[in-house]
Amino acid sequence: MDIQKVGIVGAGQMGSGIAHVFALAGYDVLLNDISAEGLQKAVALIDRNIERQVSRGKVTAEDKAAAMARIATTLKLADLGQTDLVIEAATERETVKQAIFEDLVPHLQPHTILTSNTSSISITRLASRTDRPEKFMGFHFMNPVPVMQLVELIRGIATDGPTYDALLAVVGKLGKTAASAEDFPAFIVNRILMPMINEAVYTLYEGVGSVKSIDESLKLGANHPMGPLELADFIGLDTCLAIMNVLHEGLADTKYRPCPLLTKYVEAGWLGRKTQRGFYDYRGEVPVPTR
């Protein structure tokens, strides 16, 4: 199937990053959000990020101009009905995603492929609420999208072969690498990554180490580019907690129990970089551990 026009639901960090890479790869992009301000910020962010690539010699000024011209925005979800591929990149809450798909389905063309950028929620369950479970897949990009090379492709129980093949080809055209994952809670990356982050929070909670010592230990002792608590702040502590809850509920194993300290930070609204406070306080010139 020939995919030319791509609709993206959600103009946040992930949605704007996905729009960025699709536009640069030659796809026409229609970006949707419930906020006009959010759409304006997303387009401005994409412009800045591609300009950074131009300054580094990775993209030409002509390629940037062409990519930006391919991006259109809309506040109407129904407008995405004319696209060949829809990527839902809304908040990591199943009820929100289900509502989006239910509103979108009546407007879709018969051939349109539906996907979700969910990092943990059952693809089979999301697909079952649509009219096209055979044309529904998990299409999980990593953050930040323009930099990270991996895309997880997750088939639901009903996903057919042509849909998988079409998305595999799209990943290749984006210049990224696909990893096929089965439809189990949190798939591959977050099934391994989130329990590590959760264990780092437990290590802090139990007083085994401080924020600084935990992060330095993993950076210098395991050669990780970022410490687990620093990474949690980058991802968003609310997202980390949501994924841990999906793992805990979906696999019914106590080893996935979210650390109470992670829950407390989220309850306080200290969600990491996006709120200026998490395991680090980002309000000054240099991040300072909050514990």
Backbone φ and ψ of 130, nearest 5°: -115, 175
Q: Are residues 210 and 234 in the same domain?
A: yes
Q: Are residues 148 and 200 in the same domain?
A: no
Q: Is 109 annotated as a binding residue?
A: no
Q: pTM, whole model, 2 decimals? A: 0.91
Q: Are residues 197 and 280 in the same domain?
A: yes
Q: How far apart are CA 49 and CA 67, in angstroms?
A: 12
Tell me, what CATH number does 110's domain have? Answer: 3.40.50.720
Q: What is the model's pLDDT at position 218? A: 98
Q: Are residues 243 and 105 in the same domain?
A: no
Q: How far apart are CA 89 and CA 181, in angstroms?
A: 19
pLDDT in tens, the chain (291 residues): 789 999 999 999 999 999 999 999 999 999 999 999 999 999 999 999 999 999 999 999 999 999 999 999 999 999 999 999 999 999 888 999 999 999 999 999 999 999 999 988 999 999 999 999 999 999 999 989 999 999 999 999 999 999 999 999 999 999 999 999 999 999 999 999 999 999 999 999 999 999 999 999 999 999 999 999 999 999 999 999 999 999 999 999 999 999 999 999 999 999 999 999 999 999 999 999 999
Q: What is the model's pLDDT at position 71? A: 98
Print the domain residue range for 240: 190-289
Boundary (domain end) residue, out of 141, 166, 182: 182
Q: What is the model's pLDDT at position 1? A: 73
Q: Are residues 152 and 226 in the same domain?
A: no
Q: Are residues 173 and 284 in the same domain?
A: no
Q: What is the model's pLDDT at position 286? A: 96
Q: Are residues 215 and 91 in the same domain?
A: no
Q: Are residues 146 and 212 in the same domain?
A: no
Q: Are residues 230 and 107 in the same domain?
A: no
- DSSP string covering 144-202: STTT--EEEEEE-TT--HHHHHHHHHHHHHTT-EEEEE-SSTTTTHHHHHHHHHHHHHH
- Total domain count for the chain? 2
Q: Is 38 annotated as a binding residue?
A: no
Q: Are residues 23 and 142 in the same domain?
A: yes
Q: What is the model's pLDDT at position 3? A: 96
Q: How far apart are CA 246 and CA 248, in angstroms?
A: 6
Q: How far apart are CA 131 and CA 135, in angstroms?
A: 9
Q: Is 119 annotated as a binding residue?
A: yes
Tell me, what CATH number does 252's domain have? Answer: 1.10.1040.10
The CB-based long-range contact list for 227-230 (8 Å cut-off, 24+ gap) reads 227/200, 228/196, 228/197, 228/199, 228/200, 229/197, 229/200, 229/201, 229/204, 229/279, 229/280, 230/279, 230/280, 230/287
Say how many CA atoms lie within 13 Å of 57 toward its Cβ: 0
Q: What is the model's pLDDT at position 254? A: 96
Q: Are residues 156 and 202 in the same domain?
A: no
Q: Are residues 36 and 57 in the same domain?
A: yes
Q: Report yes or no: 191 and 154 within 8 Å, Cβ to Cβ.
A: no
Q: Is 269 annotated as a binding residue?
A: no
Residues forming the active site: 119, 140, 152, 190
C-alpha R_g of the chain:
19
Q: Is 143 annotated as a binding residue?
A: yes
Boundary (domain end) residue, out of 182, 213, 245: 182
Boundary (domain end) residue, out of 150, 182, 214: 182
Q: Is 97 annotated as a binding residue?
A: yes
